[in-house]
Structure 1
Amino acid sequence: MPLNGTNHTVNVFDDSPYFKSLSDLDAWAKSPSNKLKGVMPYHSREVVEGVQAHNRGKLLVCHDYKGGYTESPSALSYTFNFWPYCDTFIYFSHHRITVPPSGWTNAAHRNGVRMLGTLIFESSGEEDCLRLLVGALPKCKTGPAIPHGDTSLPLSPHYAYLLAELAYQRGFDGYLLNFECPLRGRLEQTRILAAWISLLEIELKRRVGSHAEAIWYDSVVLTGDLRWQDRLNHYNLPFFIPSSGFFTNYTWPPHYPSLTAQYFISLDPTHLSRPKSLHNIFVGIDVWGRGSHGGGGFGCYKAISHIDPQFLGLSVALFGQAWTWESEQDKPGWTWDAWWTYERKLWLGPTNESEPITLPPPREGEPECPHGPFLPISSFFVRQPPPNPAALPFFTSFSPGVGRLWFVRGIKVMQTDDGWTDVDKNCSLGDLAWPRVALQWEHGEHEDALPELSSELCMTDAWLGGSSLQLTSSTPGSDAEDAFFRVSGCLFKH
């Protein structure tokens, strides 16, 4: 089409939400494309004062939701709202290359969280898996090449460069590397793969920034066999060494996290390509409970207690956290508001502290492992502030990224029948407002009981956007002449 007096060709791969093969990625790279506008750059968080956060394990959330790309602009969809506890978020799907939607990337970056895409090779991906290492091969017009005595594989930086360029142009921060198909080249192919991971790391940090990550998922081992280990050991160490981090499979028995820690501590630091610590190892937990200790769901705390991010220092990789939505959405009486209550209960605990929590039954055949009462996921991690407002101005409209109406300066300008979802609008909901508003007397001057204050999201009234935070107060009356109270302060802890 004509544009400013020139011919402009639209590359159909410029805005592809994902790529089904490496050849699709090559086709994208053949036409000029520009960095996507409107994607917020990553800004790191400030160090939390008084907390040895650098010695504590971190939280990685892997968002595997119905194949990905399911957000509907004309319906209320799942969104994630616990960024202060999360350090890295992976947008996962079963396409060869998963590109996080820009709205998800903005929501993460707004809170100082890295956003990763996924590079995955499953049962049908063996040919592409080999192509990744040797590069895009030219088509031969004279027939197949004649083999020579040297059977070693070449190592090409081609796809390391393209994947880093893709991350730069779409504004995300790296990849989860999920190689779930056997490597027929055996040791030769795994050796080259480990070297290729180093190339990808270098290209990502060069093109995206020093914060970029390439995280290896526990899958194939050094022999080329597909054998999940459920922990770090000498079979998968060659892939951990060049990567930013290691994401274990989730079917481990209770003693495996401590074995992983012991194995890591036994390693000679000079053998690692860069300094690493226990928090670079993310121990997997499936929230659906498929083979996970504790049975997933509200039993996740049992698995996290063995990983022990606070004292042992291992990190947690939470897989399929949208279980709260998927497992409940077809049940009678399900609404977005019911889900939000259910979701908060898993992450923050119930609004009523005395409310009983139904836990999943122990896995069949698993030895008894005593645990205390339910603990919400957030209780295991440091609540992190968003980036410094001097670097990234802080703004919130108390939006979970969904709504039913839209307001501008308090005036309703849009109304929908089924609601809307726009993850780009997701912002802080007030980290001190849930599950119960944190109240205290000013300067600690009173010994009287604090008034009761509850919080909820209101989607029927707002100043800007689709929602507001509604606080409801209840306090006993008094006949004293000097009786008064004032609710003030902040709903955020920075």
Structure 2
Amino acid sequence: MIVKGERFEDPKTTITECGPLKSLEELDMMIEIPPEWLNNITSIEKRSETVVQNVLSDCHINCSNYKQRPRLDAKFTPKTLVCHDYKGGYLEDRHLAVEVETGNQYTFYNWSHIDIFVYFSHHFITIPPLCWINAAHQKGVKILGTIITEFEDGTKICEKIFKDSDTVQHFIKKLCKITEMFKLDGWLLNIENPLEDTAVLKEFVEGLTSQLHSINPETLIIWYDSVVEDGKLEWQNELNEKNLCFFERCDGIFLNYVWTEEKLLKSIEIAKERTIDVYVGVDIFGRNTFGGGQFNSYKAAEVIRRHSLSMAIFAPGWTHESIVQSDNSIGLMEHFFNKDCAFWNSLWPYLYTHPITTYFKTSFYRGADTNRFSLFLQQTQLSKIVHPKFSYLVPNYTEIPTLERKCHCIRLEYENDAPTCLINKQGLKNDPIIHNLFVCDIKAVDEVVVFFKKKAEPFGVLGWRLMVTLENGSRHVVTLNGKRRNSVNVNSSVTQVNPLSQENELVKILKKQYSVVRGVSEMVVYVFNVPMCHILEIGAILEEGDAVCLESFGIEPSTRKLLT
């Protein structure tokens, strides 16, 4: 780990940053004197057992057709892995402070659309920084560290740890300890130097996998397609007879990026019933990758998902790292968020959405802005990735079917250094439309509070629909009226709710908390009761006007929590 002052001088008090372990000696020292910040690590949140498969047309639905989108069993759907690899790692994210006053940094925030996050660097043992562990765990995403050996230094390390069964068992024991200490969910294994013999390496892969499973059955060990069974460093870009021995001893394989569809078919044949454990690599920088990467990454994603394989997205920070600020009309972060939204939207139909499972409140902070970096303060995002505002910043926008054919009704806005959501009717018919904003699986009973803050301009009246399923399996719709009505319906099918008066004490408290300024923004609050149920969908309706800029949204279990 990186320390302040001498390398291992009183580490408990001098460690002020997160960092990798560069040697076996550093591994021993970390176990002997663990850092105090281990106490701040968050355990992983339990996710819903279902996911929603995204489709291009799922951003809105006609009110008369409102229904729950189909749910799939998450255990049987292909997975999405993101491998961080941003400029070598351990930049502003290495700090333990809640906020770092360095702006214009990269952030990842689309947690509801991925399953696994790998923090990657080119150091021996990459332990993810605290902020990434907590950000992933709070959204139910597994986070893996990386074990890598490469070049001459890697060969020397391998000679030590793979010397014999005793040395490898000692190494496994230490890695299991580190995994427990940092509450990691597993490791990516990347041996990128040739070996004279792989017998002990195979023992390592199998032993680490089985021992971690005995400690925590939810852990994952994923092998990177590099060294083959005879010890040669030969990237196969497929699962075949040369690397099958490693795949059989762990939880999955991360294929190198230079694959073809024929190689994927070969991989499927070899994997047999374990095709979901084949993570097909896509290098977003486009280095020899199928389709060319960058904004053409959707081409690789389409082929991968057509064959029901898992996908490993490598270096998505390209959307930030590749920005050239030739257009001074917008700032770097607005440029980044626009480009990032465009990139992830281009992959939309090849991703799955994990439902939000807990009550939440959010102003959509993504963990970075022009003046600070703080993944610790990152907030819940829309389940729908907002459409980019500036299509001209995407070079081949009109050639990307997953972007060009996609509706713009939920669009990125950026004002006062904060991304927000513009809900609009641009290009839509005049029929009442529900904009699908949140996919949920929130257990609710008795009193529920819903509130939102919107800009006063553009003018619009925003109502809401909540689709819930009762304990007996029947469906019920909660309608939150944009304006007060003289009478409301409450029956077995529908519960209608009027907004609270602006003079209500709860409304006043929320206005103060969210800095509502008269004439600039508005706060609308609802309180209602439900029987034991699960909230499945939360959608918005423009009852009046053509657009509304949504700045904040919250759903809480009772007024008592908000009043105290």
- Give the TM-score normalised by the residue count of structure 1: 0.71
Task: Note the C-alpha offset of 1:436.
Answer: 8.5
Report which of the two has the higher share of strand.
2
Listed as ranges, the matches of 1:144-293 within 5 Å are 154=166, 156-184=168-196, 186=197, 190-207=198-215, 209-265=216-272, 277-293=274-290
State the AA in 1 paired with 2:420: L
Q: Distance in 2 between matches of 1:459 and 1:402?
A: 14
Is the counterpart of residue 325 in structure 1 residue 291 in structure 2?
Answer: no
Using the TM superposition, give the Cα deviation of residue 35 of structure 1 relative to its aligned residue in structure 2, in angstroms. Answer: 7.2
Alignment correspondent of 2:367: 401
Return the offset for 1:312.
2.3
Q: 2: distance between equivalents of 1:436 and 1:94?
A: 33
Q: Distance in 1 between the 2:425 and 2:245 partners?
A: 60
Contact 1:21 1:96 in 2 (8 A): yes
Q: What displacement does 1:383 show?
A: 1.0
Structure 2, unaligned stretches of length 5 or more?
1-8, 51-69, 94-99, 390-407, 431-459, 468-535, 539-564
Report the count of equivalent residues. Answer: 384
- Deviations along 1:210-230, one digit per CA (max 9) or x if unpaired, are 211111000000100000000
Q: Distance in 2 between matches of 1:314 and 1:179?
A: 23
Q: 1:473 to 1:59 in 2, by over 3 A?
A: closer
Change over 3 Å in CA distance of 1:306–1:327 after alignment to 2: same
Q: Are the equivalent residues in 2 in contact too, given 1:55–1:313 (CA < 8 A)?
A: no
Deviations 1:205-260 (A, max 9, x none): 344x2211111000000100000000101100111111111001001123211111
Residue 119 of structure 2 corresponds to 91
Secondary structure at the counterpart of residue 271 of structure 2:
helix
Residue 300 (structure 2) aligns with: 303
What does residue 379 of structure 2 align with? 427
What displacement does 1:331 show?
4.4
Report if the CA contact (8 A) 1:222-1:235 is conserved.
Answer: yes
Would you tell me which structure has more helix in proportion to its own residues?
A: 2
Out of 36, 55, 75, the residue aligned to residue 103 of structure 2 is 75
Once the two structures are superposed, the pairs formed by residues 467-478 of structure 1 within 5 Å of their partners are 467=418, 469-471=420-422
Q: Superposed, which structure 2 residues align to 1:53-64 within 5 Å?
A: 53-64=74-85
Three-state SS of the structure 1 residue aligned to 2:28 is: helix
Partners of 1:294 and 1:300 within 8 A in 2: yes
What amino acid is aligned across from residue 380 of structure 2 in structure 1?
A: S
**Contact 1:61/1:88 (<8 A) preserved:** yes
Residue number in structure 2 paired with 1:358? none
Q: Quick check: 1:216–1:247 contact (8 Å CA) kept in 2? A: yes
Which residues in structure 2 correspond to 1:339-358 (within 5 Å)?
Answer: 339-348=336-345
Deviation at 1:455?
4.3
Deviations for 1:151-183, whole angstroms, at most 9, x for unmatched residues?
Answer: x76553212121122122222211110000001
Residue 67 of structure 2: aligned partner: none
Counterpart of 2:347 in structure 1 is: 377
Which residue does 1:117 correspond to in 2?
Answer: 145
Which structure 1 residue ranges, 5 or more long, are not aligned?
A: 1-7, 135-151, 266-275, 349-375, 405-418, 438-451, 461-465, 479-483
Per-residue CA distance 1:2-21 (angstroms, 9 max, x = gap): xxxxxx95446796521111
Q: Please give the alpha-carbon distance, in whole angstroms, between the structure 1 residues aligned to 2:23 and 2:34.
A: 19
RMSD between aligned residues: 3.1
SS of 2:119's equivalent? strand
- 1:468: Cα distance to partner? 6.8
Which of 159, 166, 188 is the matching residue for 1:130?
A: 159
Q: Normalising by the residue count of structure 2, what TM-score does the alignment of the two structures yield?
A: 0.62
Q: Contact 1:111–1:385 at 8 Å: present in 2 too?
A: no
TM-aligned CA distance change 1:196 to 1:420, over 3 Å: same
3-state SS of paired residue (2:144): strand
Q: Distance in 2 between matches of 1:433 and 1:126?
A: 43
Q: Give the AA of the match of 2:207.
A: L
Q: Which runs of 4+ in 1 moved over 4 A?
A: 11-16, 32-35, 152-155, 329-332, 452-455, 472-476, 490-494
> Secondary structure of 2:372's match?
strand
Any conservation in 1 of the 2:31–2:177 contact (CA below 8 Å)?
no
Provide, for residues 322-353 of structure 1, a one-character-per-residue CA deviation record: whole Å limited to 9, x for no partner: 111111145453611011111111111xxxxx
What residue identity is the alignment partner of 2:84? H
Query: 2: distance between equivalents of 1:302 and 1:471?
Result: 29
Checking the alignment, whether the CA contact within 8 Å between 1:436 and 1:453 is kept in structure 2 is: no
The answer to whether the 8 A contact 1:35-1:169 is kept is no
How many percent of aligned residue pairs carry the same amino acid? Answer: 30
The amino acid of 2:349's aligned partner reads S
SS at match of 1:160: helix
The partner residue of 2:30 within 11, 28, 31 is 28
The answer for the alignment partner of 1:488 in structure 2 is 464
Give the whole-Å Cα distance in 1 for the aligned partners of 2:125 and 2:261: 33
Q: Helix, strand or coil: the match of 2:312?
A: strand
Counterpart of 2:366, as a letter, is: P
